Amino acid sequence: MNGRRIVRRAALTGPAIAALMLTGGPMAAGVPAAAAEPERQGLFNAQTFTLKNGLRGVVIVNRRAPVALHMVWYRAGAIDEPAGKSGIAHFVEHLLFKGTKTLKSGEFSRIVAANGGRENAFTSWDYTGYYQFVARDRLPRMMEIEADRMANLVLTEDNIVQERRVILEERRSRIEASPSTILWEQARRALFLNHGYGRPIIGWMHEMAQLSRQDALDFYRRFYGPDNAVLVVAGDVDPAEVRRLAEKYYGPVPRLKAPPHRRLLEPPQRAERRVIYRDRRVRRPSFSRMYHAPGYNSSGAEHAYALQVLARLLGSSSTSLLYQSLVVRRKLATAAGSGYGASRRGPSSFYLFASPRPGVGIDRLEEAVDDELATILKKGVPKEEVEAAKRQLQDMAIFARDSLRTGANAIATSLTIGRTVQDVEEWPARIGAVTVDQVNAAARHVLQRRKSVTALLLSEKPAEADKAGEQRQ
């Protein structure tokens, strides 16, 4: 769904890339690694090291082309923001493209471009990441400038005024232009009673408008350092050489004074919530529901693998249970599905969505969704569906090896949220070990309305809205 990650800039090179970067579908970060083939030990066979200053390094060798993907991820995201400073993590991400003690504002990107590199950055609730994609012989230069901005950022008031306008425009593009995203933002705020996961990554408009140079520097100094970062290099590289380069360029960067760690817990979820948003731009209503759900690192984590199987069989495609029931057999909806991601530092959510066919009331659709869930909870999920879902997930892991970025992202996510490379390498086996009973137990654990927010997107005045839209054609 929208907003899991936001990037510095919508790619210019084409919509396909923008889509890739923005899709934080449930699997994007959580689907890691791959299926173990007999002749290979792990999915990606990643190698790791740790420097004296605490920087952890990962190398994934992939010799398809003489290129290297160089990434640094910080364990710092929207959930780490101080109260009243929503959006600061993402703002800092933008500001890292300004100057340092030795580089002028904008020079970083000129250097990357002059080396034929592509670059960008992204911010999530749990982390912020930066990458350059270059010919492999350009790796040292990229490390040099990335290490530089890890410690030596310089910001001027002009930088702040200008870039703050950019993020406000970004918010207008991403959120204000889209009624469903506005609702999604409201619903997340309702889902998390206490946790920063309820905060929009891009920030609330009124707080973004007040973010200052000092706010940015405070956040930067608190979170940007080698002992709060993960370095990932993937591509046609030699692991020993990468380590040597990392020591040379990142080794001298000083540790943070006090490595930040905080863990926020959610109180018990006791009351079902409903969020209803009416917008003149809406011409077709839609239904969605988010359930509070465990991630790999929160209480209930034993359900995390089973929930991935559940999301797959319940609503990942046109053969899934929800689609077959609501769209195909009962003809109440034009779309229906579900999603879930486990890769979080804290709690996660499991969501469902459905769009009614014309003439079908949103209440009737919601009732049908609840009927379907009740049946599943009562009778249990079909064994053959569980087996099919597991196999599909495992096969996705093999496909993941084809792309440089998928493995690198999966491993970086894992390390950033406090898990291990092994967790990624063993993901296919752990999915394979999920049983029907575990899927049913996970469903019972999560699919409880008292732990949910139901979000309805409605048009303000349906009849008039339709008329106005037609005239525009």
Stretch 63-92 residues interacting with other proteins (CB under 8 A): 63-67
244 binds other proteins per the rule CB under 8 A: no
Among the listed residues 2, 11, 301, 418, the single contact to other proteins using CB under 8 A: 11
Q: How far is CA 289 from CA 42, 300, 308, 336, 433, in A?
A: 36, 20, 17, 11, 28
Q: Give the whole-angstrom CA distance, residue 233 versus residue 332.
A: 48
- Residue 93 annotated to the active site: yes
377 binds other proteins per the rule CB under 8 A: no
Looking at residues 17 to 46 of the shown chain, list those that interact with other proteins (rule: CB under 8 A).
17, 19, 37
Structure tokens at 23: 């899709």
Q: Taking Cα atoms as reference points, which of 187, 183, 211 lies closest to residue 197? A: 187
Question: What is the maximum alpha-carbon separation in the chain?
Answer: 67
> 48: which strand partners?
58
Q: Give the whole-angstrom CA distance, residue 171 versus residue 38.
A: 48
For other proteins, the closer of residues 275 and 396 by Cβ is 396
Nearest approach in angstroms of CB 165 to other proteins is: 3
178 binds other proteins per the rule CB under 8 A: yes
Q: Which stretch binds other proteins (CB under 8 A): 8-16, 371-379, 417-425, 446-454?
A: 8-16
Provide the CA 18 distance to its chain's centre, in angstroms: 14
Phi-psi map region of 242: left, alpha, beta (phi>0 left; psi -120 to 50 alpha): alpha
455 binds other proteins per the rule CB under 8 A: no
Nearest approach in angstroms of CB 356 to other proteins is: 9
For other proteins, the closer of residues 256 and 456 by Cβ is 456
Nearest approach in angstroms of CB 67 to other proteins is: 6
Q: Which stretch binds other proteins (CB under 8 A): 53-61, 85-93, 328-336, 413-421?
A: 328-336
Q: Give the whole-angstrom CA distance, residue 128 versus residue 232.
A: 13
Among the listed residues 30, 117, 294, 428, the single contact to other proteins using CB under 8 A: 117
116 binds other proteins per the rule CB under 8 A: yes
Count residues contacting other proteins (CB under 8 A)? 83
Provide the CA 346 distance to its chain's centre, in angstroms: 13
DSSP-derived secondary structure for 217-236? HHHHHHH-SGGGEEEEEEES
For other proteins, the closer of residues 76 and 327 by Cβ is 327
164 binds other proteins per the rule CB under 8 A: yes
Q: Give the whole-angstrom CA distance, residue 285 versus residue 332.
A: 13
Nearest approach in angstroms of CB 10 to other proteins is: 4
Q: How far is CA 400 from CA 36, 268, 424, in A?
A: 12, 37, 12
Among the listed residues 102, 173, 194, 435, the single contact to other proteins using CB under 8 A: 173
**Of the residues 81, 93, 163, 425, which is catalytic?**
93
Q: Give the whole-angstrom CA distance, residue 252 versus residue 100.
A: 16
Looking at residues 411 to 440 of the shown chain, list those that interact with other proteins (rule: CB under 8 A).
none
For other proteins, the closer of residues 398 and 429 by Cβ is 398
319 binds other proteins per the rule CB under 8 A: yes
Q: Which stretch binds other proteins (CB under 8 A): 43-51, 174-182, 374-382, 442-450?
A: 174-182
- Residue 175 DSSP label: I
Main-chain dihedrals φ then ψ at residue 357, nearest 5 degrees:
-70, 155
Sheet holding 6-7, edge to edge: 6-7, 118-123, 128-135, 67-74, 229-235, 56-61, 47-50
162 binds other proteins per the rule CB under 8 A: yes
Looking at residues 343 to 372 of the shown chain, list those that interact with other proteins (rule: CB under 8 A).
355, 357-358
240 binds other proteins per the rule CB under 8 A: no
Nearest approach in angstroms of CB 308 to other proteins is: 16
Nearest approach in angstroms of CB 142 to other proteins is: 12
265 binds other proteins per the rule CB under 8 A: no
Kindly calculate the radius of gyration of the chain based on its CA atoms and give it in whole angstroms. Answer: 23
Q: Which stretch binds other proteins (CB under 8 A): 111-119, 339-347, 410-418, 421-429?
A: 111-119
For other proteins, the closer of residues 200 and 347 by Cβ is 200
Kindly report the three-state secondary structure assignment for every residue of 125-147: CCCEEEEEEEEHHHHHHHHHHHH
411: Cβ–Cβ under 8 A, 6 or more apart, which residues? 32, 33, 44, 46, 58, 60, 232, 421, 424
Among the listed residues 213, 273, 278, 281, the single contact to other proteins using CB under 8 A: 281
Nearest approach in angstroms of CB 44 to other proteins is: 12
Among the listed residues 169, 238, 437, 464, the single contact to other proteins using CB under 8 A: 169
Q: Where in the sequence numbering do the catalytic residues fall?
A: 93
